[in-house]
Structure 1
Amino acid sequence: MTPQRRQQLLAFLESLGFGAASGLLPAEPTAARAALATLEEALTHSSTGQPRHHDRLEFLGDAVLRLAAAEFLRSAHPSLSVGDTSALRAQLVSDRWLSELARAIALEPLLLLGPMASGDRAGRATVLAECCEALVGAIYTLGGGPQGGLTAVQQWLAPHWQASAAELLADPLRHNWKSVLQEWSQGQGMGLPAYHCHERSRVHGDPERFECRVEVADLIGAGRGGSRRQAEQQAAKAALEALDLRPAPGC
């Protein structure tokens, strides 16, 4: 690693709130070089063909991100139902949110990309999300892994989550309940939810113009809205709320 690249990475860590006083980087030179190599790995996209690239840390970052977001919501919004918490977390760990975070922290100029990824402007948001998730894995690793890594990630991401959660809670229609229900059903091996919509009235502007029913296994939800999309979202929300009311396994 060149001295210029080292200074670039150190300045980037400081911009995230991990300056010299944070203790994220070891003081011992050899350990510090290894830590920066981990950060470099997160910022090296697999399209470069390098033997050490972002994939491994992205895999780790995916799991860490979900746990950190769950802990943040449990602490910051304890009154939310499980369904609402799941919906909000899905937004806070989504590829869209990660790509927006990557732009907010000026991640793109630091990335090492191969020719194909560099030339694919349409897929740039995906690349940013992937490497941002790998950065989560790197921060977790540098912070001590199981011994302190989660705290480091939460220290970094909490202010960003606070702002995003406030926006989402102020505008519930921004929740993508359908995505949350689909994520849950596929995670349970139940396949995709099936939506059945019909038009209740032909009055333009009627907030309950459409009615929708969603079914996935034995879980059912129904909702109404001024458009098919809104009705589907409300049906998915109702299904998630019904899921909250189910007794836990073994009860």
Structure 2
Amino acid sequence: MADLSSPRQGQLRRCAQILGLPVPQSFSWSRFDQALTHRSVDAAYNYEQLELLGDAVLRLAATECLQEIWPEASVGELSAVRSVLISDRSLGQLAQDLGLAPYLLVGPGLTVQPTHLADALEAVVAVLYLETRNLSLVRPWLDPPLKQLAATVRQDPARHNYKAALQELTQAHSKALPQYHTAEHHAVDGAPQRYQSTVWFRETCWGTGCGPTKKQAEQAAAAAAYDRLRQTLDHDPLSAVP
């Protein structure tokens, strides 16, 4: 563990206060310091190991939160919303909004990027988890911003990242990735749905979707495919492995 200087100790305490962290009396300030240290500062003492743990903890916390908010929602919809919540873009923005950036240590000449902030935020989540080995400190802190963003995402279907959720599902079972075949299309009733997309995985078409843009058509196809493919993989996970 690093010996923290008095100025750094003061910085970390201010950071915890600004972030609104629930800091117990036994809080590991050296671990918190490590969570806010980039490998460009120290190749051995940095946030990478904590980030790995924090990613898993954050995924669990977000899943629990979403299932409690919308218990009737499909697995596909919850997974799509979760993929937005825990994306680097969302986490980087959350870290920026919380005021984390000034406290992240990086090497000379390196500019703090949103991905650095996202990684550091995951590491901070790991620090909270390691205090109790459960989510009792993590969820009360993270639930409010996660719920706010989740509501925004669910009200705006264009932000549902079903493609990311479907890719995550397939990568958990196979090295193969879903493939999209998208072409211009017009609905039979005359209402233009400019594009139609089909999503294929392991030489099987799992879903079809239409939309005014290629992106929306592919998202619709991914949404149609997710639950069907998930049920198949859960029933016979080896069937999709090359």
TM-score by length of 1: 0.84
Verify: 1:131 aligned to 2:117, yes or no: no
Structure 2 letter corresponding to 1:162: K
Distance verdict in 2 for CA 1:11–1:163, change over 3 Å: same
Within the candidate set 150, 163, 180, 1:195 is matched to 180
* 3-state secondary structure, aligned to 1:49: coil
Structure 2 letter corresponding to 1:131: A
- List runs of 5+ in structure 2 lacking aligned partners: 237-242
Deviation at 1:111, TM superposition (A): 0.7
Aligned residue runs from structure 1 range 168-187, under 5 A: 168-187=153-172
Cα RMSD, aligned residues only: 2.2
- List runs of 5+ in structure 1 lacking aligned partners: 27-31
* Residue aligning to 1:157: 142
* Residue aligning to 1:29: none
Cα shift readout 1:157-189 (whole Å, capped 9, x = no counterpart): 000101101101111111111111111111211
Deviation at 1:201, TM superposition (A): 3.7
Aligned residue runs from structure 1 range 2-81, under 5 A: 2-18=5-21, 22=22, 24-26=24-26, 35-81=28-74
Distance verdict in 2 for CA 1:41–1:125, change over 3 Å: same
Structure 2 letter corresponding to 1:228: K
Deviation at 1:135, TM superposition (A): 1.1
Verify: 1:241 aligned to 2:230, yes or no: no
Distance verdict in 2 for CA 1:223–1:151, change over 3 Å: same
* 3-state secondary structure, aligned to 1:115: coil
Cα shift readout 1:88-129 (whole Å, capped 9, x = no counterpart): 1111111111101110111110011012533xx6xx111111
Distance in 2 (CA, whole Å) between partners of 1:247 and 1:197 is: 25
* Residue aligning to 2:101: 108
* 3-state secondary structure, aligned to 2:137: helix
Structure 1 letter corresponding to 2:160: H
Deviation at 1:83, TM superposition (A): 0.5
Q: Is the 8 A contact 1:206 1:226 kept in 2?
A: no
Distance in 1 (CA, whole Å) between partners of 2:156 and 2:215 is: 16
Distance in 1 (CA, whole Å) between partners of 2:42 and 2:175 is: 37
Structure 1 letter corresponding to 2:79: S
Verify: 1:140 aligned to 2:103, yes or no: no
